[in-house]
Amino acid sequence: MRVLYVAMTRAKEKLILTGGIKNMDKMLTKWGSICRQEGKQQLYYQLSNAANYLDWVIPALMRHRGFEEILKPLGIRQDINNPLYGARTEITIKQYSYEEAAQYEYAEQIYNRVNQKDLGYWDTGVVYNESIRKEIRSRMDYQYPYQAETNIHTKLTVSELKKLGQLEAEDFGVPIKGIERRSREFPVPEFIRESDTVAGSDLGTLYHGVLKSINLTLVKTKGDLEAFLEGLLHKGKISSRDRLALDIEKLFQFTASPIAERMRKAMEAGRLYRERQFVMGMKAGEINSSLRSEELVLIQGIIDVYFEEDNEWVLLDYKTDTVDEPDGEEILVRRYGVQLDYYQKALEQLTGKRVKERIIYSFGLNKEIKAAN
């Protein structure tokens, strides 16, 4: 019934239904009792005994005026007082035998063949009707005014938007502790990997996972950090290979940084949030100024860290990109400025609180970088 419902509710102006029945008179007589039924809805037993779609559709239509001429010869009378009989819905019923249908199809095929043959000898240099010629040219030269909007995706991730908004290549990962930096389109099975090194993209995911789990109120010394990592290894949350890939010096420098201390205070106050997903709506014209469109696009992403200070938000994003001094800070701010813009917009839109500060913590530079709002 759901399939039938979908099929019958998609037409905008006209719906054409076709069906085949071996003995039309017999079936109409079988369904005829519904014409004396007062209510609009079919009874439960009528619906449950249906053997095909026509057993639902024809009885539902038989009380409409459009069936009158077909039912009269069979002695089936409709109730003219039934609201369905006087409904404004225009229903036209046509009956064709299989022979008539076959003849019609055959005639249609012959007509098409003749037309096709005539068109093959058509003299295109002769103008037979100027007005028709102009109309054809007008339609053939038509330019869809909203062509640019056909390229709008209804849902985008912040990473995709970042790539749309920036020109630099952005598949990065810090080769920490001499870890080989490689890029690959598809994950490679363990048994055919050339080495046990961690690729850049995998390394970034590893660091984010560790930073999401770390309890900064308990990790203050290098010994605390080592114990924490051993705990993750023991619980199976990281592998031995992962443990070797992690640069404990870089992680410890982060835990001892001013931003980590601010995170501790926020965590103690219950105002620290990590790895939070969001979905927000934006107009296509806001995403791309070349599009004059009000079309709504859904933006989704994950914010690494945000915490509350003085009733305002501090936004933090971890980065493991390979950058060098002295231009490393500028490169990261330029590279991830678009991403932070969307994070800020989402956070302010969803919470109603202002983002007072945006910070990138670079594990490549071992420092926090302030990105202007």
User: Is 165 found in the same domain as 68?
Assistant: no
pLDDT at 250: 95
Distance of alpha carbon 321 from the chain centroid: 29
Residue 140 — φ and ψ, nearest 5°? -70, -30
Q: Which of 216, 263, 219 is nearest to 359 (CA)?
A: 263
236 and 295 in a single domain? The answer is yes
CATH number for the domain that contains residue 310: 3.90.320.10
CA dist., res. 225 & res. 178, Å (int): 21
- Residue-level pLDDT at 97: 84
Ramachandran category for residue 17: left, alpha or beta (phi over 0 → left; psi -120 to 50 → alpha): beta
- For residues 88 and 159, state if they share a domain: no
Domain limit, last residue, from 116, 140, 169: 116
pLDDT along the chain (373 residues), means of 10: 86 87 86 82 82 88 86 87 83 84 87 77 83 92 83 76 48 37 44 49 86 94 95 93 93 96 96 93 78 81 95 95 86 92 93 96 94 89
Residues 223 and 106 in one domain: no
Task: List the one residue out of 190, 197, 187 whose CA is nearest residue 245.
Answer: 197
Same domain (yes/no): 207, 263: yes
Q: Among residues 303, 282, 302, which one has the least CA distance to residue 293?
A: 282
- Structural contact between residues 364 and 319, judged by C-beta atoms closer than 8 angstroms: yes
| Closest by CA position to 330, among listed 283, 371, 373 | 371
Asked if residues 153 and 161 have their Cβ atoms less than 8 Å apart, the reply is no
Q: Is residue 130 part of a domain?
A: no
What's the pLDDT at 92? Answer: 84
Strands, E assignment, the chain = 155-157, 272-283, 296-309, 312-319, 355-362, 367-371
In a domain, 150, yes or no: no
Number of domains in the chain: 2
Give the per-residue pLDDT at 199: 54
- One domain, residues 109 and 160: no
Residue 128 lies in a domain: no
Look at residues 66, 98, 116 and tell me which one is the last residue of a structural domain.
Answer: 116
- Identify whether the C-beta of residue 346 lies closer than 8 Å to the C-beta of residue 301: yes
The answer on 166 and 90 residing in a single domain is: no
Task: Provide the residue range defining the domain that includes 18.
Answer: 1-116
Per-residue confidence (pLDDT) for residue 303, from 0 to 100: 94
Tell me how far apart the alpha carbons of residues 94 and 85 are, in angstroms, rounded to a whole number. Answer: 18
**Does residue 342 sit in the same domain as residue 270?**
yes
Question: Does one domain contain both 112 and 230?
Answer: no
Task: Note whether residue 144 is domain-resident.
Answer: no
Can you tell me which residue has the tokens 């997903």? Answer: 277
Residue 217 Cα distances to 206, 210, 258, angstroms: 21, 15, 14
**pLDDT reported for residue 345:** 93
Q: By three-state DSSP, how is residue 302 classified? A: strand
What does the pLDDT read at residue 352?
Answer: 94
pLDDT value at position 313? 97
The pLDDT of residue 196: 53
The reply to whether 102 and 244 lie within a common domain is no
In a domain, 12, yes or no: yes
User: Based on the domain organization, do 30 and 172 belong to the same domain?
Assistant: no
Q: Taking the chain, what is the end-to-end CA distance rounded to the nearest angstrom?
A: 55
Supply the pLDDT for residue 170. Answer: 39
**Residue 131 belongs to a domain:** no
The reply to whether 22 falls in a domain is yes
**DSSP percent split of the chain into helix, strand, coil, nearest 5:** 45, 15, 40
Q: Is residue 129 part of a domain?
A: no
| Distances, alpha carbon 127 to alpha carbons 117, 122, 142, in Å | 20, 11, 21
Q: Does residue 321 share a domain with residue 175?
A: yes
Task: Report the distance separating Cα 261 and Cα 219, nearest Å.
Answer: 11
